[in-house]
């Protein structure tokens, strides 16, 4: 079903703590872009970062209709049973917040969308692993110059193909921004997830979009589609479909 109107679903959006970032103003801008990505499609955002109290978290998780996991630092490799081998900054408090949010969404069967770190977090929380460093995919940091870009090959017949290419579910190739140095290879993919977008790299093809095989709407993309200046316009449909999925299972099909 195409995106439509309905009651505003409540979407928890996990965010950076600006005052703990090298440039708080840039971090605040990143947060605002993530929140707006769902608000402009009719959601009521519940912003949440690692400073949230236990009570704030419990209330947010009890009332949310969906979960958006956003960008940020590397996950601690202990979460996928690995020793550090290229991981840079980690934030244990952010890991804990998002793991709890993921568990709550799973218990309630809610839609989840992950972008960049959120894509990697979803894979790890679902039982997958990560490649801790891949060359040539980080590019300039956000706000310091034009985004590095590369092609994303969308797998025919997937839900992502139907979202991005509604007139041609045979898939296609889009150019996406690249702000990451860690990655998911096909061998890293968690059970229950299937690759729906692949990108070339020195380490071979990388999974840069995945979706759940069954169950509620679960999708992750390695790029930052909320950064619209370096993202194809059809990614607006991804946010629209996610918000509609949060309204209820009939709208999310």
Judged by phi (left if over 0) then psi (alpha if -120 to 50, else beta), residue 157 lies in left
Look at residues 178, 158, 177 and name the one whose alpha carbon lies nearest to residue 232: 177
Asked whether residue 217 is domain-assigned, the answer is yes
Asked whether residue 1 is domain-assigned, the answer is no
Asked whether residue 2 is domain-assigned, the answer is no
Domain count, the chain: 1
Query: Is the CB of residue 178 less than 8 Å from the CB of residue 223?
Result: yes
Asked whether residue 85 is domain-assigned, the answer is yes
Please state the pTM of the whole predicted model. Answer: 0.94
What is the domain-level CATH number for residue 59? 3.40.50.880
* Residues spanned by the domain of 181: 10-247
Asked whether residue 252 is domain-assigned, the answer is no
Catalytic residues: 116, 224, 226
SS3 98: helix
Parallel/antiparallel/unpaired status of strands 206-212 and 193-199: antiparallel
d(CA 175, CA 153): 9
Look at residues 12, 46, 45, 18 and name the one whose alpha carbon lies nearest to residue 31: 18
User: Would you give per-residue pLDDT tens digits along the chain (253 residues)?
Assistant: 344 456 799 999 999 999 998 889 999 999 999 999 999 999 999 999 999 999 999 999 999 999 999 999 999 999 999 999 999 999 999 999 999 999 999 999 999 999 999 999 999 999 999 999 998 888 778 877 898 999 999 999 999 999 999 987 677 999 999 999 999 999 999 999 999 999 999 889 999 999 999 999 999 999 999 999 999 999 999 999 999 999 986 443 3
CA dihedral 87, 124, 179, 74 (to 10 degrees): -30
Asked whether residue 4 is domain-assigned, the answer is no
Asked whether residue 124 is domain-assigned, the answer is yes
Asked whether residue 157 is domain-assigned, the answer is yes
Half-sphere exposure of 84 (CA within 13 A, CB side): 8
């Amino acid at each position: 079903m195409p995106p439509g109107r309905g009651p505003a679903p409540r979407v928890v959006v996990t965010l950076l703590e600006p005052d703990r970032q090298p440039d708080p103003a840039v971090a605040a801008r990143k947060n605002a872009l993530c929140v707006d990505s769902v608000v402009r499609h009719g959601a009521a955002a519940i912003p949440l970062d690692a400073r949230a109290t236990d009570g704030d978290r419990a209330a947010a998780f009890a009332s949310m209709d969906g979960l958006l996991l956003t960008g940020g630092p590397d996950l601690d490799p202990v979460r996928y049973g690995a020793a550090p081998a290229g991981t840079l900054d980690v934030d244990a408090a952010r890991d804990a917040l998002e793991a709890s949010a993921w568990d709550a969404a799973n218990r309630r069967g809610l839609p989840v969308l992950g972008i960049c770190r959120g894509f990697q977090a979803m894979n790890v929380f679902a039982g997958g692993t990560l490649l801790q460093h891949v060359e040539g995919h980080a590019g300039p940091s956000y706000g310091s110059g034009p985004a590095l870009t590369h092609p994303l090959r969308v797998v025919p017949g997937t839900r992502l193909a139907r979202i991005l290419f509604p007139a041609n579910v045979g898939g296609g190739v889009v150019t996406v921004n690249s702000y990451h140095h860690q990655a998911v290879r096909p061998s890293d993919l968690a059970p229950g997830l299937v690759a729906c977008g692949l990108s070339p790299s020195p380490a071979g093809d990388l999974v840069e979009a995945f979706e759940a095989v069954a169950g509620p709407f679960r999708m992750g993309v390695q790029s930052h589609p909320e950064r619209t200046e370096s993202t194809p316009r059809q990614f607006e449909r991804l946010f629209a479909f996610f918000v509609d999925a949060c309204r209820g299972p009939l709208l999310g099909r």
